[in-house]
Structure 1
């Protein structure tokens, strides 16, 4: 399988690591660390030295309760970083839901639109949608994510019931609609949206049943890095579980990324690139030594 993007056809025969570059002051785990253009550019280069296959640049936090950022502010944050990142020889993804930001990023040579709204946002004053931008582009990649409600309200009233069929239906419909508008399936990647309007148990249900939650035949992206659900199930390691530091989220994040790949994810979106790659190498070493099981013998004859 390959993921077709603006400049690259990404070979997904091995898992790919997407390094997160948050050009924001308020992202939930690293807000402010790379908020200036120069710091974000340096972080892009550092992630590549650690082995990142893809860079994902975002200028607006989508943590629960995060306030929206104006178009002008988001453009000012991300465009200088994108302009630099596209010179580094790897696919560049832009984490945005605003059509104007998508268009500006693609005009600079970005490869992938990574949209938590899955091209459904309708707030652009021009009337243009993210779907319009992606359909008009000859070959950019796009990642469609499942999100319940919106970042301001998603955790105040999370989903109810079995989320797997709900997520599957949502992603099936969006992918079908995009294909119907002429976007080849090789350009489409799907993300079940861990933490976006789901309970802790629902998030782990999506991990356990990942193959059921995403339509067959599409690239799958998993984003578990430093998520609060990992804190929830490991908080006994600290008397203040909700406030686990970044270093205490590392092992759970790597574990979740490895499990996601073992369950069929092709791309993992992470903060900790070097450590995630190490974990994936252990998984690959084990898989290389697995012996195919022989068909069960019919003992009834």
Structure 2
């Protein structure tokens, strides 16, 4: 039987008959992947619309880099970056997610038209986040997170990464539900690249079925990350730059779709949009 069934739905969001594609718009000067390219509001909105034209089902707007070692942007600057882009895309009918660890940014983004809050800290970075999301009644992505970017590499210590990530995510989901967020509005994300080494990320991709045991829709965000660079480089060689990892990203997207992921989050949409549609066609042929 195909494992593509049972990816789940998220209350408050459209239903897709396949793994959804979340396109990324980084409104930052220092993203590891495309820092500075979409820093201007007009350029960012245009890029988001281009991602939709290429096959993105929803667009994730973020104003703070979370690459390893990144320092935090201040609240007012994050608001200045994010809110106009969310408003511009939402006004064009785009399904918009806001990528933020701050409750204030989440609130303002939802007021501007965002319909999903994607918090890489799962509500741990800002104690006001869970109450804000609960009050807004919007879906919430709970990612596995152990600490801020400045120190997360030192936290990549596991005896059994799959079991530990599942257990820590389960505890975090329970806390978010206890904080008032409806279970049917929660998405889980294993946090590839966050307090993880390459071998940890690969193990998690190999065991997405274990993550699905949490009973919530699964978001997989592998796009252009370090572990793909390590795979492509091979032993002892220099990894290719982030923008040369899109074919590898699409490969992970196909794997994730086959394993029943609800959505994949990617910078370059077209190849992944094709990959998830092929996965859906294979599912249909197997049923």
State the TM bucket, normalised to the shorter chain.
Answer: over 0.9
Secondary structure of 1:156's match? helix
CA deviations 1:156-196 (Å, max 9, x no partner) are 34122111111111211222222234422221000000000
- Per the alignment, do residues 164 and 246 of structure 1 end up closer, same or farther by CA in structure 2, a change over 3 Å counting? closer
Distance 2:16 2:144 in 1: 21
- In the other structure, the counterpart of 2:20 is 16
Q: Which of 273, 276, 287 in structure 1 is aligned with 2:269? A: 273
Computing the radius of gyration from Cα coordinates, the structure with the larger value is 1
Moved more, 276-285 or 50-59: 276-285
Deviation larger for 248-257 or 17-26: 248-257
Question: What CA distance in whole angstroms lies between the structure 2 residues aligned with 1:170 and 1:284?
Answer: 31
> Using CA pairs below 8 Å that are at least 6 residues apart, which structure has the higher relative contact order?
2
Partner of 1:57: 61
SS at match of 1:252: helix
1:295 is aligned to: none
**TM-score, normalisation: structure 2:** 0.92
Whether 1:160 aligns to 2:164 is no
| 1:258 maps onto 2:262 in alignment | no
Say if 1:24 and 1:59, in contact at 8 Å, map to a contact too: yes
User: Which position in structure 1 is the counterpart of 2:43?
Assistant: 39
Runs of at least 4 residues of structure 1 off by over 3 A? none
Take 2:143 and 2:157, find their aligned partners in 1: how far apart are those partners?
A: 15
Partners of 2:132 and 2:95 in 1: CA distance? 18
1:247 Cα deviation from its structure 2 partner: 4.7
Q: How far apart, in 1, do the equivalents of 2:86 and 2:279 lie?
A: 32
* C-alpha separation in 1, matches of 2:52 and 2:139: 20
Q: 1:266 to 1:24 in 2, by over 3 A?
A: same
Q: What is the deviation of 1:56?
A: 0.2
1:286 correspondence with 2:282: yes
- 8 Å contact kept, 1:208–1:263: no
Give the Cα–Cα distance (whole angstroms) in 1 for the partners of residues 180 and 78 of structure 2.
29
The answer as to whether partners of 1:26 and 1:32 remain within 8 angstroms in 2 is yes
Counterpart contact for 1:168–1:214, Cα < 8 Å: no
- CA shift digits 1:55-111 (9 cap, x unpaired): 100000000001110001101111110110111223210000011111111122210
The equivalent position to 2:171 in structure 1, one of 170, 173, 187, is 173
**Per-residue CA shift, 1:198-229, capped at 9, x if unaligned?**
11111111111112134432110000000010
CA RMSD of aligned residues (A): 1.8
